[in-house]
Structure 1
Amino acid sequence: MTRDSDFKQVVRTRMADTGESYTAARAALERESYDAARAEQERLVARLFTDGRIERVPARRKVRAAVLLEVVARFEPGREYAEKEVNEVLLGVHEDFAYLRRELVNYHYLEREDGRYRTAARAPERAAIERQEIPDWEAHWLGGFLAGR
């Protein structure tokens, strides 16, 4: 059971409105949240990618984070990459691979140690101020991706 009292209240409100059990109401709300986050992600990145490449890196942080989520999906979770391999993957996305590589590390999607890279072991914990500039898709998708699901 969730510890988030606000979410519990939303679930209970849905239960009262629909007659669903707690489990069914919670699952329906989580599915709706997932679907809304996926739709937002697609809206944010759809116009930026052409044939798997982006023409420009967006200036707005939320859109840039959405793009980076699409880019990190090109890496295999848990695999270690040499910098040259990371650059090759990123060149398939945009010519400024160094900027993308830096941003992937800054957003904690990739970790760098001794010139080697790998996807983060788990989704980063974001402060409230950071969450405002990160698409909801990160919370729904990233943890499962990084865990290899």
Structure 2
Amino acid sequence: MTRDSDFKQVVRTRMAETGETYTAARAALQREAYDAARAEQDRLVGRLFRDGRIERVPAKRKVRAAVLLEVLSRFEPGRDYAEREVNEVLLGVHEDFAYLRRELVNYHFLERADGRYRTAARAPERAAVERQEIPAWEAHWLPGFLAEG
């Protein structure tokens, strides 16, 4: 059961409106949140990608983070990559592969150790100020993606 009392109240409100059980109401709200996050992700990156590539790296942090999540999906969770391999993947997205690689590490999507890269072991914990600049898609998609490794 969730510890978030605000969310519990939203679930109970939905229960009263729809007659659903707590579990059904909670699942429906979570599905709606997932669908809304996916729609936001598509809106943020849809206009930037053409044939799998981006023309420019966005200046706005939230849009850039959304682009990085799309780029991250090109990596296999749990696999070690040499820097050259990471660069090859990123060249398929944008010519400034070094910037993308650095941003993936800075956003804690990729981890670097001993000249090797791999997707993060788990989704990063974000401070409140960081969460404002990260699309909701991260919380919905990233933990499952990383767990595949």
Q: Aligned pair 1:116/2:116, yes or no?
A: yes
The answer for unaligned runs of 5 or more in structure 2 is none
Cα distance between partner residues in 2 of 1:94 and 1:119: 19
Cα distance between partner residues in 2 of 1:5 and 1:121: 29
Structure 1 equivalent of residue 130 of structure 2: 130
User: With structure 1 as the length reference, what TM-score do the two structures score?
Assistant: 0.99
RMSD of aligned alpha carbons = 0.7
Structure 1 equivalent of residue 83 of structure 2: 83
Secondary structure of the residue that 1:17 maps to in structure 2? helix
Q: Aligned pair 1:24/2:24, yes or no?
A: yes
1:46-85 aligned at under 5 Å gives the runs 46-85=46-85
Residue 65 of structure 1 deviates from its aligned partner by 0.2
Secondary structure of the residue that 2:111 maps to in structure 1? strand
Residue 95 of structure 1 deviates from its aligned partner by 0.1
1:134-145 aligned at under 5 Å gives the runs 134-145=134-145
Cα distance between partner residues in 2 of 1:6 and 1:80: 40
Structure 2 equivalent of residue 95 of structure 1: 95
**1:113-136 deviation line (CA, Å, top 9, x unaligned):** 011000000000000100000000
The answer for unaligned runs of 5 or more in structure 1 is none
Secondary structure of the residue that 1:112 maps to in structure 2? strand
Residue 50 of structure 1 deviates from its aligned partner by 0.2
User: With structure 2 as the length reference, what TM-score do the two structures score?
Assistant: 0.99
Residue 106 of structure 1 deviates from its aligned partner by 0.2
Q: Which amino acid aligns with 1:20?
A: E
Q: Which amino acid aligns with 2:55?
A: E
Secondary structure of the residue that 2:112 maps to in structure 1? strand
Residue 26 of structure 1 deviates from its aligned partner by 0.2
Residue 67 of structure 1 deviates from its aligned partner by 0.1
Residue 85 of structure 1 deviates from its aligned partner by 0.3
Secondary structure of the residue that 2:99 maps to in structure 1? helix
Q: Which amino acid aligns with 1:17?
A: E
Between Structure 1 and Structure 2, how many residues are aligned?
149
Q: Which amino acid aligns with 1:93?
A: V
Residue 91 of structure 1 deviates from its aligned partner by 0.1
Cα distance between partner residues in 1 of 2:10 and 2:28: 11
**1:44-78 deviation line (CA, Å, top 9, x unaligned):** 00000000000000000000000000000000000
Identity %: 87
Residue 36 of structure 1 deviates from its aligned partner by 0.2
Secondary structure of the residue that 1:118 maps to in structure 2? strand
